[in-house]
Structure 1
Amino acid sequence: MSKSDAKREQQLQKRRAAPLATPTDLSPKATRDLGGALNAVLADVFALYIKTKNFHWHMSGPHFRDYHLLLDEHSDQIFAITDDIAERVRKIGGRTLTSIGQIAKLTRVENNDAEYVTPQDMLAELREDNKILIGNLRKAHDLCDEYHDVATASLIENWIDEAERRMWFLFEITRVHSES
């Protein structure tokens, strides 16, 4: 066997031993830490998506149409980033979430299984959940800075901007105006 054939065989054996080990210039520690942070954010995003859809489906009251459409728009935007987050984890050599159980274990977004929630309480709760998501995205961004992962940081910056916009809309809808 030639040297090049031996090298190819060695590479093949290495790939077979770790078929999901995506090559990266990040250290194994960076991959582990960044992948863990992104998987926690992914769990938050899935939980926020489900909660937003839940409130979308159970909206009622005089502003039903406006709130129903707003939450549909928000849920679409939230769901749209799930694949980007998971693929980023894979691109840096990590493994992504594999189950609902993992999402439940990792998420920092609280469930709301109440039989009835007022529209204003729904919107206020989603506002706070988006605020929590923003804080968790900022922490993940800090980790990106620590490991010089500019590609992930760039994505996170866009996700923060989108979440801030959702929070702003929800804030304006739930703001109590004093009439004097």
Structure 2
Amino acid sequence: MQRASTDIDPGLAVTELSDHLNGLLADVFALYLKTKNFHWHMSGPHFRDYHLLLDDQAAEIFAATDDIAERVRKIGGTTLRSIGDIARLQRLRDNDEEAVSPHAMLRELHADNLTLVAAMLEAHHACDDHADVATAGLLETWIDQAQRRAWFLAEAAK
């Protein structure tokens, strides 16, 4: 473990926060790839709208990856190094189905975003336990973004 650039106590706090953030990072990569998968394989009468919606959401999801990984490093932890790390840590399930209906895609992404929110809230509680206000602030932004994505997906799936 390297020396942190923050005032977070090294040791258990860094380990616990890094574990939460690395789990989130793995989930965010998994959600990004699933969102792009559905974007690439979208079809049907609402193709254009759903295709663009998922592309916008994928870009927002991917944008969080660097911030999550850099936060782990700032607090003194180490972060993911490979697709194998992602596979070991991700909690969101992949979708390798040959064909998925547009409605099923939207419902699945909706549920995944809500699962991500729950994991982010757990991480936020750990931040509270260790007085890590900077990570908590980042999490609040990411929670809001995931809730917004879930809302859009739920409305589009009606």
TM over 0.5: yes
Query: Structure 2-normalised TM-score?
Result: 0.97
Is 1:49–2:49 an aligned residue pair? no
Correspondence for 1:138: 121
Greater relative contact order, per chain length (Cα 8 Å cut-off, separation 6+): 2
Give the whole-Å Cα distance in 2 for the aligned partners of 1:121 and 1:39. Answer: 28
Q: 1:73 aligns with which of 52, 56, 63?
A: 56
Give the letter for the 2:20 counterpart: A
Query: Structure 1-normalised TM-score?
Result: 0.85
How far 1:26 moved relative to its partner? 1.6
Identity across the alignment (%): 60
Is 1:37–2:20 an aligned residue pair? yes
Give the letter for the 1:42 counterpart: L
- 1:140-168 CA distance string (max 9 Å, x none): 00000000000000000000000000000
Q: 2:130 aligns with which of 147, 152, 175?
A: 147
How far 1:81 moved relative to its partner? 0.4
What is the aligned-residue RMSD (CA, Å)? 1.0
Is 1:174–2:157 an aligned residue pair? yes
Q: What SS class does the counterpart of residue 96 from structure 2 fall into?
A: coil
How far 1:173 moved relative to its partner? 1.2
Query: Structure 2: where are the runs of 5+ without partners?
Result: none
How far 1:23 moved relative to its partner? 4.2
Q: What SS class does the counterpart of residue 165 from structure 1 fall into?
A: helix
Following TM superposition, the consecutive aligned residue runs of length 4 or more in structure 1 with deviations greater than 3 angstroms are 20-24
Highest Rg: 1 or 2? 1
Give the letter for the 1:140 counterpart: A
Paired residues in the alignment total: 157
